[in-house]
């Protein structure tokens, strides 16, 4: 299972997050894979250890694939989550109060941004609510 955290803008204008995973339901040869999600581009970025980014919205709807580094995200209403190498962020909070992040280990944050095609359905499944 590939961990994925979705962040989006709620009706009150604040960013919210929910943990889930990338749906891997198909496959062959012992592999499992997701459905394809159309994208328009991919780019890579690196931030030095200790880096952070103040309040901002996602510029576009995108997957952010963490390759190295551990970081903490926070929303204006105090919602917090941590991303580690191998995690995927589904960033959909393109309006509203946004989020901020900071690196919490001694590694650079290396990541890939996959810009999603407009209106594309993504293979995200939210985790069941805690009981």
Q: Could you give all domains of the chain from N- to C-terminal order, each with its CATH number?
A: 2-126 (2.60.120.10)
Residues in the chain with pLDDT < 70? 130-131
Give the pLDDT score at 130. Answer: 64
Predicted confidence at residue 21, as pLDDT, reads 97
CA distance 117 to 109: 25
Q: Which two tokens stand for residue 96?
A: 């509203």
pLDDT in the model for residue 131: 58
- The whole model's pTM is what? 0.93
Tell me whether residue 28 is exposed, middle or buried, using C-beta atoms within 10 angstroms of its C-beta: 0 to 12, 13 to 18, 19 or more. exposed
């Amino acid at each position: 299972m590939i961990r994925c955290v979705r962040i989006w803008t709620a009706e009150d204008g604040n960013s919210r997050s929910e943990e889930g995973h990338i749906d891997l339901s198909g496959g062959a040869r012992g592999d499992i894979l997701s459905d394809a999600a159309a994208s328009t581009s991919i780019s890579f970025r690196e931030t030095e250890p200790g880096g952070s980014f103040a309040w901002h919205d996602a510029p576009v709807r995108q997957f952010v694939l963490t390759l190295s580094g551990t970081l903490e995200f926070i929303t204006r209403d105090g919602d917090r989550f941590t991303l580690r190498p191998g995690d995927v962020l589904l960033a959909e909070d393109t309006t509203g109060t946004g989020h901020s992040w900071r690196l919490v280990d001694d590694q650079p944050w290396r990541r890939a941004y996959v810009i999603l095609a407009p209106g594309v359905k993504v293979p995200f499944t939210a985790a069941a609510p805690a009981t």
